[in-house]
């Protein structure tokens, strides 16, 4: 049941986001549909991505995510928002590549003698796409192929990374993902491999319009600044994108209790009548925890200090009670046994404890193990 409101409270906005993401009740759909509901699933930590997706599905497990990635190919693992590794629905890859390719990029974080010129960048991107077409290559094989197609300059080890130096060309790997010429392929033993997904990007303006609508559907009401932060894009650019869409009547402005004015997809103004209810466990870098704004409302009180890393969301798995972060948790696996430690920031009621036990059991089912709950202090620090 929904009602319409000209002024949207944070409580109602939060309840709608939770409902649309399958966090109020699991979605009776596929892994690709669950990822689409989140818009994208952060996948730098693979088990966390599997858990993010599986927890949103009725009876979903990590095996379902593997099947969607490597058998059905309805999911793609590639570089998405903020240049980080994400799962994206394969059907939406043309929109993503068109939109991400249209986001302005700066000079990059590297010194001038490390950076590549625009011409060199395009040469490397073409080489990556050519080398990966119809092939699955490890990073070393791809490096050899890129250098062979460009020149020794691309292979010079000048790029600082993880206490070593990588070849110069690797600074544009995320850009290759954004252009749709690179994505992850199945591992070869312990080695990661890459391939060319063969995506044909949508026209930039159309793709951007589609991405903004999808973003506002999942996380609205939101401001251009929220969108820019989520995408790691210039705020001024996001303001101009929203202004153009508003001029076309594609999005509409509403009064937002926690952020002044904000935007929704035109006509998409229905909200749940009541607040979010229930206990949920969200893993590292869960899309809901990262994208929901204002962050200080989701991470209220003590949660802002305990569950964030210098204001950054995602570095801790979080306990969500009635739509608000109220603790952190951690899981450690040994064979099929999964030891889950949950640290609430306030005492749990008997009902909340029972729901937490059910959530822990669900975590075990998604990860295809047996989970055991301990309520106590989480001593593990934030993920890097």
pLDDT digits (tens, 9 = 90+) for 244-272: 999 999 999 999 986 688 999 999 999 99
The CA-CA-CA angle for residues 141, 147, 150, to 5°, reads: 140
Segment 22-41 shows an average pLDDT of: 94
DSSP letter for each residue of 250-280: SEEEEEETTTEEEEEETT--EEESS---SEE
Query: Residues of 259-287 as b/e, b for ≥16 C-beta within 10 angstroms?
Result: beebbbbeeebebbeeebebbbbbbbbbb
pLDDT band at 332 (very low <50, low <70, confident <90, very high): very high
pLDDT in tens, 205-215: 999 999 999 99
270: which strand partners? 4
Give the separation between CA 217 and CA 94, rounded to whole angstroms: 19
pLDDT band at 3 (very low <50, low <70, confident <90, very high): very low
Q: Is residue 237 packed enough to be buried (19+ CB in 10 Å), middle (13-18) or exposed (0-12)?
A: middle
| Phi, psi for residue 164 in degrees, rounded to 5 | -145, 180
pLDDT of residue 300: 93
pLDDT in tens, 108-119: 778 888 999 999
The CA-CA-CA angle for residues 279, 319, 255, to 5°, reads: 80
pLDDT of residue 112: 87
Mean per-residue pLDDT of the chain: 94
> Residue 11 corresponds to which tokens in the numbers above?
């409580």
Which residue bears the tokens 């094989």?
Answer: 141
pTM of the prediction? 0.94
Whether the pLDDT of residue 38 is over 70: the answer is yes
pLDDT of residue 32: 97
Whether the pLDDT of residue 14 is over 90: the answer is yes
Contact 282, 52 (CB under 8 A): yes
pLDDT band at 360 (very low <50, low <70, confident <90, very high): very high
**Cβ contacts of 265-270, under 8 Å, gap ≥ 24:** 265/213, 265/216, 265/217, 265/220, 268/216, 268/217, 268/220, 269/4, 269/5, 270/2, 270/3, 270/4, 270/16
Segment 322-348 shows an average pLDDT of: 97
Contact 68, 247 (CB under 8 A): no
Contact 53, 47 (CB under 8 A): no
Q: How far is CA 80 from CA 87, 129, 131, 175, in A?
A: 8, 17, 21, 9
In angstroms and rounded to an integer, the radius of gyration of the C-alpha atoms of the chain is: 21
Percent of the chain with pLDDT over 90: 91
pLDDT band at 6 (very low <50, low <70, confident <90, very high): low
Give the separation between CA 71 and CA 186, rounded to whole angstroms: 10
């Amino acid at each position: 049941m929904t009602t319409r409101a000209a002024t949207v409270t944070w409580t109602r906005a939060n309840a709608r986001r939770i409902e649309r993401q399958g966090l109020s009740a699991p979605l009776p759909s596929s892994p690709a549909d669950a990822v689409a509901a989140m818009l994208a699933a952060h996948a730098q930590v693979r088990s966390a991505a599997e858990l993010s997706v599986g927890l949103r599905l009725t009876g979903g497990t990590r095996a379902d995510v593997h099947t969607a990635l490597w058998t059905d190919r309805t999911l793609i693992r590639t570089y998405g928002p903020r240049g980080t590794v994400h799962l994206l629905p394969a059907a939406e890859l043309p929109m993503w590549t068109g939109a991400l390719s249209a986001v302005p990029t700066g000079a990059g974080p590297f010194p001038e003698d490390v950076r590549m010129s625009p011409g060199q960048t395009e040469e490397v991107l073409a080489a990556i796409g050519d080398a990966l077409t119809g092939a699955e290559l490890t990073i070393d094989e791809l490096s050899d192929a890129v250098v062979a197609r460009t020149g020794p300059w691309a292979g010079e080890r000048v790029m600082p990374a993880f206490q070593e130096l990588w070849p110069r060309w690797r600074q544009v790997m995320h850009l290759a993902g954004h252009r749709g010429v690179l994505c992850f392929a199945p591992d070869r033993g312990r080695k990661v491999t890459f391939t060319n997904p063969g995506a044909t990007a949508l026209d930039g303006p159309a793709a951007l319009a589609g991405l903004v609508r999808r973003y506002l559907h999942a996380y609205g009401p939101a401001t251009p600044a929220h969108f820019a932060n989520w995408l790691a894009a210039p705020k001024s650019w996001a303001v101009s994108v929203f202004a153009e869409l508003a001029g076309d009547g594609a999005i509409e402005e509403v009064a937002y209790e926690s952020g002044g004015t904000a935007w929704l997809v035109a006509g998409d103004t229905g909200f749940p009548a009541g607040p979010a209810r229930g206990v949920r466990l969200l893993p590292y870098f869960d899309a809901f925890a990262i994208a929901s704004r204002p962050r200080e409302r989701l991470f209220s009180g003590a949660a802002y200090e305990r569950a964030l890393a210098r204001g950054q969301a995602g570095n801790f798995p979080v306990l969500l009670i009635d739509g608000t972060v109220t603790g952190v948790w951690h899981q450690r696996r040994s064979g099929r046994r999964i030891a889950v430690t949950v640290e609430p920031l306030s005492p749990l009621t008997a009902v909340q404890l029972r729901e937490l036990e059910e959530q822990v059991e669900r975590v075990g089912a998604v990860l295809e193990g047996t989970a055991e709950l301990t309520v106590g202090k989480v001593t593990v620090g934030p993920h890097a």
